[in-house]
Chain A
Amino acid sequence: MRESQLDWLPGYDKKFAEVTHDMVNDLEKCLQCGKCTSQCPAAKISSYNPRRIIRDLRVGNIEKVISSQELWLCFFCGSCYAVCPRDINFPYAVAMIRYAALDKGYGWSEVQKVKDPYAQDYYKTGLSVSPHETNLGVKKEVAKNSHTDGRMSSVREKMGIAPEREVSEQAISEIRFIADATGMTDLFKDIDKKENKEKQWNYGSPADMVKIKRAGNDKFEDLQDKED
């Protein structure tokens, strides 16, 4: 599909400076050499492509980037940064571009997935991983045999330590104070109500995704976490 320069915003870096908190460095230095994409784990199995995202940001096609599904596929492994000949810290850029996307109403569905199981834990206990977390998608009895059924306390007790790691009341109240003071609390309350624009596969399609081959059934939906 043809693109038009009329849709492109000039001066992406200035426009982005506000949302990127000064953390996106030097995208204009990009040579478009593709070293990042060549060994990117997300690019390997999907239409995610760090080089193309930088390209679009440079020409000003910001809408295409922030409305894309692909933006949410980065692993944050940093291998693009490790090989980049121009020293561009792209994982940081992705994190910040995601904030820009949220700002425009894209991607709240992704954040919603994280909020309940993890962010709320942090708010309640000071830790973002719950001691009751099970190995999702594994049958209860299998998990039970291997202590991955969310009963970490029994393992801890056998080790001769307290059944749960406790963060002090004092600390939790401090965390809540910071959350209140910086707007995190309000954000948590609003997350579920946020306008959620539909993201597009701007760089390919879900069909590009590599599936795990499984005897007689290679639909990845089957691997979604469900309580069996």
Chain B
Amino acid sequence: MPRQEILDKIKVSEKMFLFKPCVGSNKYPGIITSAEDIFPKLDVEIETSEDQACCGGFLTFTNVAQPTSTMPAVARNLALAEEKGLDTITLCNGCYTFLTEFGHFMNDRPPVKGVVNVILSMIGREFKGSQSVYHSIEILYKLKDKIRERTIRPLEGMKFATHYGCHYLFAFKKTAIDDPFMPSVIEELVRDMGGEIVEYPEARSCCGTGLTQVILHKEEISLPHTKTKLDSIQSVKPDAVIGVCPYCIAQLDRMQQKFNYRKIGKYETPVIHITQLIGLALGIEEKRLGFGAHAISFDKFMQKFHKLEKARGEKNG
């Protein structure tokens, strides 16, 4: 489907439900805090819920629970936003995949939905399938013009590599706003904020986390990919890699540390979520960006950023 048609279907509301990812909460809290800060700056009020739990997909795709068990858990999470009458924004490719795929699965099969709702009725909830689930990158791309206008700390002089993550582009080849192999939405957003994009050959490769690979201790399966990807990124020397999925970010960030420790190379490219980057450009409080949680330090990155900012300030008087 042409991008415009898909974009037209995405509805940015005044108020939206922010779905908190587990990895975001417990490894990179800055992803959530910056999301909470940037959306109001772009005129989208954000609501969250303490009742929201893990999306449930993780357990399904590690096969530790049957889909029959996780389906109601997904439905419960979707019902929270429905109760508020809000559409959901997800910050993680995984949450996006499982909420939309399972949501559609239940909507397309009334008997499945019926059984799920019998279980939900016992906890006083109901899944109607009335609200939409969007990926944060979709909403941010729709708000592109506002982001450009409201950028107060432009990224001029900073170079970025991008990593979209498989579970947004590949898994949704028909419905994602971008082409699986030649995407450009992050690039456009970054250029709008004044930043520069560097291309690298392995841009379309998987980060290597492969959902379960690292967890199952199959480093021999997972790490060669991460290494190939990181080597390719290093070769073009970006100031940071931009991701849209906390899971990918965790892999690309923490494995650099692991490789360094094991002397498999020297890697020092910080990895940043798009909400953190936009947060930086829109001028939210730096401590709310949560760079402290990243294994690869943002010190050099921020030094360069501050230096360029200062130089610009002096130039402009």
Residues of A bordering B, CB below 8 Å = 21-23, 41-42, 44-46, 72-79, 81-82, 91, 95, 98-99, 102, 107, 110-111, 113-115, 117-119, 122, 126-131, 133, 135, 137-139, 142-143, 146-148, 152, 155-156, 158-161, 165-168, 170-172, 174-175, 177-179, 181-184, 187-188, 191, 209-212, 214-215, 220, 223-225
- Say yes or no: A175 contacts B213, CB within 8 Å: no
- Say yes or no: B261 contacts A127, CB within 8 Å: no
CB closest chain-B residue, reference A73: B221
B258 at the interface (CB under 8 A from A): yes
- Say yes or no: B170 contacts A79, CB within 8 Å: yes
* B25 proximity list for chain A (CB < 8 A): 127, 129, 131, 165
Q: How large is the interface on B (under 10, 10 to 19, 20 to 34, 35 or more residues)?
A: 35 or more
Q: Mark B205-225, 1 if CB is under 8 A from A, else 0.
A: 110101111011111110111
- Say yes or no: A81 contacts B54, CB within 8 Å: no
Given A82-B169, A147-B293, A214-B264: A72 and B206 within 8 A (CB)? no
Given A155-B29, A159-B30: A168 and B123 within 8 A (CB)? no
Shortest CB distance B252–A (Å) = 13
Residues of B bordering A, CB below 8 Å = 20, 22-23, 25-27, 29-30, 33, 50-54, 58-69, 72-73, 76, 105, 109, 119, 122-123, 125, 166-167, 169-171, 173, 180-181, 204-206, 208, 210-213, 215-221, 223-225, 227, 254, 257-258, 261-264, 287-288, 290, 292-297
* B211 proximity list for chain A (CB < 8 A): 75-76
Cβ contact of A127, chosen from B26, B76, B263, B288, cutoff 8 A: B26
| Cross-chain pair count, CB within 8 angstroms | 246
Cβ contact of B216, chosen from A110, A139, A214, cutoff 8 A: A110
Cβ contact of A187, chosen from B66, B264, B293, cutoff 8 A: B66
Shortest CB distance A129–B (Å) = 4
- Say yes or no: B221 contacts A170, CB within 8 Å: no
User: Given A77-B210, A187-B66, A212-B227, 14 other A-B contacts at CB below 8 A?
Assistant: A21-B67, A23-B67, A77-B170, A78-B166, A119-B62, A127-B54, A128-B58, A133-B26, A146-B257, A165-B29, A184-B65, A191-B64, A223-B219, A223-B220
- Say yes or no: B73 contacts A82, CB within 8 Å: no
Given A45-B221, A81-B173, A168-B50: A156 and B64 within 8 A (CB)? no
**Residue among B26, B62, B223, B296 facing the most chain A CB atoms (10 A cut-off):** B26
- Say yes or no: A78 contacts B261, CB within 8 Å: no
* A175 proximity list for chain B (CB < 8 A): 53, 73, 76
- Say yes or no: A95 contacts B64, CB within 8 Å: no
The 5 residue pairs across chains A and B that have the minimum distance between CB atoms? A75-B210, A126-B53, A78-B170, A77-B166, A165-B25
CB closest chain-B residue, reference A129: B22
- Say yes or no: A41 contacts B65, CB within 8 Å: no
* B290 proximity list for chain A (CB < 8 A): 155, 159
In the bound complex, how far is the Cα of B1 from the Cα of A20, in angstroms? Answer: 29
* A22 proximity list for chain B (CB < 8 A): 109
Listed A/B pairs (7) with beta-carbon separation below 8 Å: A72-B216, A113-B215, A128-B22, A146-B297, A147-B293, A159-B292, A167-B51
Cβ contact of B295, chosen from A75, A135, A182, cutoff 8 A: A135
In the bound complex, how far is the Cα of B94 from the Cα of A176, in angstroms? Answer: 22
- Say yes or no: A122 contacts B166, CB within 8 Å: no
CB closest chain-B residue, reference A98: B63
* A212 proximity list for chain B (CB < 8 A): 219-220, 223-224, 227, 264
In the bound complex, how far is the Cα of B112 from the Cα of A162, in angstroms? Answer: 38
- Say yes or no: B65 contacts A167, CB within 8 Å: no
CB closest chain-B residue, reference A177: B123
* B287 proximity list for chain A (CB < 8 A): 158-160
In the bound complex, how far is the Cα of B295 from the Cα of A188, in angstroms? Answer: 33
- Say yes or no: B29 contacts A118, CB within 8 Å: no
* B225 proximity list for chain A (CB < 8 A): 41, 44-45
* B51 proximity list for chain A (CB < 8 A): 167-168, 170-171, 174
- Say yes or no: B216 contacts A135, CB within 8 Å: no
In the bound complex, how far is the Cα of B167 from the Cα of A78, in angstroms? Answer: 7
In the bound complex, how far is the Cα of B214 from the Cα of A19, in angstroms? Answer: 26
CB closest chain-A residue, reference B26: A131
